[in-house]
A = this chain, B = another copy of it.
Amino acid sequence: MDFDLRAGTAVLERTPQTMRAMLAGLPPAWIDGTEGPDTWSPYVIMGHLIHGERTDWVPRARIILAQGEDRRFVPFDRFAQLREAKQSLGDLLDEFAALRAENLRTLEGWRLTGEQLAWEGEHPELGRVTLRQLLATWVAHDLGHIAQTARVMAKQYREAVGPWRAYLPVMDR
Protein backbone atom coordinates (compact mmCIF):
# COMPACT_ATOMS: atom_id res chain seq x y z
CA MET A 1 0.00 0.00 0.00
CA ASP A 2 1.46 3.33 -1.06
CA PHE A 3 1.35 6.23 1.37
CA ASP A 4 -1.69 8.37 0.75
CA LEU A 5 -2.09 11.59 2.72
CA ARG A 6 -5.81 11.18 3.28
CA ALA A 7 -5.73 7.48 4.21
CA GLY A 8 -2.70 8.03 6.45
CA THR A 9 -4.32 10.98 8.21
CA ALA A 10 -7.42 8.85 8.81
CA VAL A 11 -5.33 6.56 11.03
CA LEU A 12 -3.47 9.40 12.75
CA GLU A 13 -6.71 11.07 13.78
CA ARG A 14 -8.09 7.82 15.26
CA THR A 15 -5.15 6.93 17.51
CA PRO A 16 -6.05 9.18 20.47
CA GLN A 17 -9.56 7.77 20.65
CA THR A 18 -8.27 4.21 20.23
CA MET A 19 -5.86 4.60 23.15
CA ARG A 20 -8.59 6.24 25.21
CA ALA A 21 -11.12 3.50 24.43
CA MET A 22 -8.60 0.82 25.33
CA LEU A 23 -7.14 2.37 28.50
CA ALA A 24 -9.24 5.09 30.16
CA GLY A 25 -10.52 4.07 33.57
CA LEU A 26 -8.79 0.67 33.72
CA PRO A 27 -7.43 -0.64 37.04
CA PRO A 28 -3.72 0.28 37.54
CA ALA A 29 -2.54 -3.32 37.12
CA TRP A 30 -3.40 -3.06 33.40
CA ILE A 31 -1.83 0.39 32.98
CA ASP A 32 1.47 -0.33 34.71
CA GLY A 33 2.17 -3.91 33.64
CA THR A 34 5.15 -4.53 31.33
CA GLU A 35 6.65 -7.43 29.37
CA GLY A 36 9.57 -7.69 31.81
CA PRO A 37 12.59 -5.57 32.84
CA ASP A 38 13.32 -2.58 30.60
CA THR A 39 10.09 -2.95 28.64
CA TRP A 40 7.25 -0.47 28.52
CA SER A 41 3.89 -0.34 30.22
CA PRO A 42 0.83 1.21 28.51
CA TYR A 43 1.49 4.26 30.72
CA VAL A 44 5.06 4.64 29.41
CA ILE A 45 3.87 4.10 25.82
CA MET A 46 1.45 7.03 26.22
CA GLY A 47 4.34 9.25 27.41
CA HIS A 48 6.38 8.16 24.39
CA LEU A 49 3.55 9.00 21.98
CA ILE A 50 3.27 12.48 23.55
CA HIS A 51 6.99 13.04 23.22
CA GLY A 52 6.79 12.10 19.54
CA GLU A 53 4.06 14.70 18.96
CA ARG A 54 6.27 17.35 20.56
CA THR A 55 9.68 16.61 19.11
CA ASP A 56 9.53 14.14 16.26
CA TRP A 57 6.99 14.11 13.45
CA VAL A 58 5.98 17.70 12.82
CA PRO A 59 9.35 19.25 13.76
CA ARG A 60 11.06 16.91 11.31
CA ALA A 61 8.51 17.64 8.61
CA ARG A 62 9.24 21.35 9.14
CA ILE A 63 12.96 20.74 8.58
CA ILE A 64 12.20 19.02 5.28
CA LEU A 65 9.73 21.68 4.16
CA ALA A 66 12.16 24.51 4.95
CA GLN A 67 14.60 22.97 2.41
CA GLY A 68 17.45 24.78 4.14
CA GLU A 69 21.16 24.07 3.90
CA ASP A 70 21.13 21.73 6.91
CA ARG A 71 18.28 19.22 6.73
CA ARG A 72 19.55 16.99 9.49
CA PHE A 73 16.93 15.97 12.08
CA VAL A 74 17.51 16.36 15.82
CA PRO A 75 17.89 12.82 17.23
CA PHE A 76 14.66 11.58 18.83
CA ASP A 77 14.95 10.63 22.50
CA ARG A 78 13.06 7.37 22.84
CA PHE A 79 13.35 7.43 26.61
CA ALA A 80 12.42 11.04 27.44
CA GLN A 81 9.07 9.98 28.92
CA LEU A 82 10.86 7.90 31.57
CA ARG A 83 12.33 11.08 33.07
CA GLU A 84 9.15 13.13 33.07
CA ALA A 85 7.03 14.03 36.09
CA LYS A 86 4.27 11.56 36.74
CA GLN A 87 0.86 12.63 35.49
CA SER A 88 -2.33 10.60 35.66
CA LEU A 89 -3.10 8.38 32.70
CA GLY A 90 -6.20 10.49 32.05
CA ASP A 91 -4.00 13.58 31.77
CA LEU A 92 -1.70 11.78 29.32
CA LEU A 93 -4.66 10.72 27.16
CA ASP A 94 -5.94 14.31 27.11
CA GLU A 95 -2.54 15.76 26.35
CA PHE A 96 -1.90 13.32 23.52
CA ALA A 97 -5.31 14.05 21.98
CA ALA A 98 -4.71 17.81 22.13
CA LEU A 99 -1.20 17.63 20.66
CA ARG A 100 -2.28 15.26 17.90
CA ALA A 101 -5.23 17.46 16.94
CA GLU A 102 -2.93 20.48 16.76
CA ASN A 103 -0.37 18.58 14.67
CA LEU A 104 -3.05 17.38 12.26
CA ARG A 105 -4.26 20.97 11.84
CA THR A 106 -0.68 21.95 11.01
CA LEU A 107 -0.35 19.07 8.53
CA GLU A 108 -3.64 19.94 6.84
CA GLY A 109 -2.64 23.61 6.68
CA TRP A 110 0.44 22.73 4.65
CA ARG A 111 -1.73 21.38 1.79
CA LEU A 112 1.16 19.20 0.72
CA THR A 113 1.71 18.43 -2.95
CA GLY A 114 3.05 15.18 -4.40
CA GLU A 115 6.23 17.07 -5.23
CA GLN A 116 6.73 18.17 -1.63
CA LEU A 117 6.15 14.62 -0.38
CA ALA A 118 9.26 13.60 -2.32
CA TRP A 119 11.46 16.24 -0.66
CA GLU A 120 14.18 14.90 1.58
CA GLY A 121 15.65 15.40 5.02
CA GLU A 122 18.57 13.70 6.69
CA HIS A 123 17.98 11.22 9.47
CA PRO A 124 20.94 11.12 11.91
CA GLU A 125 21.29 7.36 11.47
CA LEU A 126 19.23 6.33 8.45
CA GLY A 127 20.47 9.01 6.06
CA ARG A 128 18.25 10.53 3.37
CA VAL A 129 14.53 10.04 3.87
CA THR A 130 11.55 11.62 2.16
CA LEU A 131 8.67 13.53 3.71
CA ARG A 132 6.39 10.76 2.41
CA GLN A 133 8.40 8.15 4.33
CA LEU A 134 8.35 10.31 7.46
CA LEU A 135 4.57 10.62 7.37
CA ALA A 136 4.09 6.90 6.63
CA THR A 137 6.33 6.16 9.61
CA TRP A 138 4.23 8.43 11.84
CA VAL A 139 1.20 6.27 10.94
CA ALA A 140 2.99 2.92 11.31
CA HIS A 141 4.55 4.06 14.60
CA ASP A 142 1.07 4.74 16.03
CA LEU A 143 -0.14 1.32 14.91
CA GLY A 144 2.96 -0.37 16.31
CA HIS A 145 2.32 1.16 19.72
CA ILE A 146 -1.38 0.27 19.67
CA ALA A 147 -0.32 -3.32 18.95
CA GLN A 148 2.32 -3.15 21.68
CA THR A 149 -0.18 -1.82 24.23
CA ALA A 150 -2.63 -4.65 23.61
CA ARG A 151 0.19 -7.22 23.58
CA VAL A 152 1.65 -5.98 26.88
CA MET A 153 -1.81 -6.18 28.44
CA ALA A 154 -2.45 -9.68 27.07
CA LYS A 155 0.81 -10.91 28.59
CA GLN A 156 -0.41 -10.00 32.08
CA TYR A 157 -2.62 -13.09 31.73
CA ARG A 158 0.12 -15.37 30.43
CA GLU A 159 -0.27 -17.69 33.42
CA ALA A 160 -3.96 -17.03 34.06
CA VAL A 161 -5.04 -18.55 30.74
CA GLY A 162 -3.54 -21.93 31.69
CA PRO A 163 -3.27 -24.39 28.77
CA TRP A 164 -4.87 -21.90 26.34
CA ARG A 165 -1.50 -20.18 26.12
CA ALA A 166 -0.67 -22.62 23.32
CA TYR A 167 -3.48 -21.04 21.23
CA LEU A 168 -2.56 -17.43 21.95
CA PRO A 169 0.46 -16.41 19.84
CA VAL A 170 0.32 -12.90 21.35
CA MET A 171 1.67 -14.34 24.61
CA ASP A 172 5.01 -15.19 23.06
CA ARG A 173 5.53 -12.49 20.46
Instruction: Report which A residues bind B (CB closer than 8 A).
Output: 1-4, 6-7, 10-11, 14, 17-18, 20-22, 25-27, 29-30, 33, 123, 126-127, 129-130, 132-134, 136-137, 139-141, 143-144, 146-148, 150-151, 153-154, 156-157, 160-164, 166-171, 173
* A134 CB to nearest B CB, Å: 8
Across the interface, A27 reaches (CB within 8 A) one of B10, B22, B156, B163, namely B10
* Contact between B146 and A160, CB atoms less than 8 A apart: no
Q: A146's closest neighbor in chain B, by CB?
A: B150
* A26 CB to nearest B CB, Å: 5
* Contact between B162 and A130, CB atoms less than 8 A apart: yes
Q: A4-B27, A147-B147 are in contact. List 18 more A-B contacts (CB 8 A).
A: A1-B160, A7-B29, A10-B25, A10-B27, A18-B18, A21-B21, A123-B163, A126-B166, A126-B167, A129-B163, A132-B160, A136-B157, A136-B164, A137-B161, A140-B154, A144-B168, A144-B171, A173-B173
* Contact between B163 and A1, CB atoms less than 8 A apart: no
Q: How far is the CA of A11 from the CA of B10 in the complex (A)?
A: 25
Across the interface, A168 reaches (CB within 8 A) one of B22, B134, B140, B156, namely B140
* A100 CB to nearest B CB, Å: 13
Chain A contact residues, majority secondary structure = helix
Q: How far is the CA of A116 from the CA of B21 in the complex (A)?
A: 31
Q: How far is the CA of A36 from the CA of B20 in the complex (A)?
A: 30
Q: How far is the CA of A6 from the CA of B6 in the complex (A)?
A: 40
Chain B residues lying within 8 Å of A3, measured Cβ to Cβ, are: 157, 160
Q: How far is the CA of A171 from the CA of B2 in the complex (A)?
A: 15
Q: How far is the CA of A25 from the CA of B17 in the complex (A)?
A: 13
